[in-house]
């Protein structure tokens, strides 16, 4: 029986209060994790899975919506723990996940660091450490817009560039659920495009072309 489970990982620090919600897709053969939480939180991920009667030891694949430390932070450690798992992302995002390119959030901060007032620099340094904290991991296979992955009743890949240039969303057909990563967010109780503060790449414009897809 196919299952879709949303895990909840509370924030470990008051400084970044948002909970993280990795998704687990399960079918008869595979246990697939969609995004994997902040850096160094594998035990928290394991506990969140256990609370939903999911054994993380059964994991076979990880699909990453985009490279940000709160979506890829545990990736390298999980691959080390479970060497046979397959890691998938878009081709564009893979360069940031495997370390060929520095995380974009880090690049953005490095570009402005010297222009900041001294009073801000300590905080920004902390942010840079956080944004750069995900250990790079090899991506085994690329997925692309329109591709239907044959797991959990069919999972359609939808390119949703904006928050990150290679960001993907996943439409899980059987459950009629769209996993949007950080392409969409909830602010003041309303669903909308992700906070533009973290969208240096024209989220609004990029997502405009996908409006029909988002109405599934």
By rule CB under 5 A, what string of x and - marks binding of each residue 53-92 to Zn ion? ---------------x------------------------
Q: Which one among 182, 193, 203, 207 touches Zn ion, defined by CB under 5 A?
A: 182
Considering the complex, state which of residue 39 and residue 54 has its C-beta at the smaller distance from Zn ion: 39
SS3 105: helix
Considering the complex, state which of residue 82 and residue 201 has its C-beta at the smaller distance from Zn ion: 201
User: Is residue 93 at the binding interface for Zn ion, with CB under 5 A as the rule?
Assistant: no
CB of 6 to Zn ion, least distance (A): 17
161 CB-near residues (< 8 Å, 6+ apart): 92, 167, 201, 206
CB of 164 to Zn ion, least distance (A): 6
Considering the complex, state which of residue 93 and residue 182 has its C-beta at the smaller distance from Zn ion: 182
CB of 189 to Zn ion, least distance (A): 21
Q: Which residues of 95-118 are buried (b: 16+ CB within 10 A; e: fewer)?
A: bbbbeebebbbbeebeeeeeeeee
Size of the site for Zn ion (CB under 5 A): 2
CA dist list (Å): 54 to 4, 63, 94, 210:
11, 17, 27, 33
Considering the complex, state which of residue 2 and residue 133 has its C-beta at the smaller distance from Zn ion: 133
54 CB-near residues (< 8 Å, 6+ apart): 5, 7, 24, 26, 31
Which stretches of the chain bind Zn ion, using CB under 5 A? 68, 182
């Amino acid at each position: 029986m196919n299952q879709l489970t949303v895990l909840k990982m509370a924030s470990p620090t008051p400084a970044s209060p948002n909970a993280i919600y990795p998704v687990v897709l399960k079918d008869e053969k595979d246990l697939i994790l969609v995004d994997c939480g902040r850096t160094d939180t594998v035990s928290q991920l394991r506990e969140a899975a256990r609370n939903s009667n999911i054994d993380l030891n059964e994991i076979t694949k990880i699909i990453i919506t985009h490279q940000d430390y709160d979506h890829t932070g545990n990736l390298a450690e999980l691959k080390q723990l479970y060497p046979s798992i397959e890691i998938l992302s878009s081709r564009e995002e893979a360069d940031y996940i495997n370390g060929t390119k520095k995380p974009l959030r880090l690049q953005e901060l490095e570009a402005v660091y010297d222009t900041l007032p001294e009073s801000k620099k300590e905080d920004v340094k902390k942010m840079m450490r956080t944004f750069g904290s995900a250990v790079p991991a090899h991506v085994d296979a690329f997925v692309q817009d329109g591709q239907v992955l044959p797991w959990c009743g069919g999972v359609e890949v939808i390119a949703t560039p904006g928050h990150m240039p290679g960001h993907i969303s996943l439409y899980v057909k059987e459950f009629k659920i769209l996993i949007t990563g950080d392409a969409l967010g909830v602010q003041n109780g309303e669903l909308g495009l992700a906070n533009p503060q973290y969208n240096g790449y024209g989220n609004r414009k990029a997502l405009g072309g996908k409006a029909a897809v988002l109405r599934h």
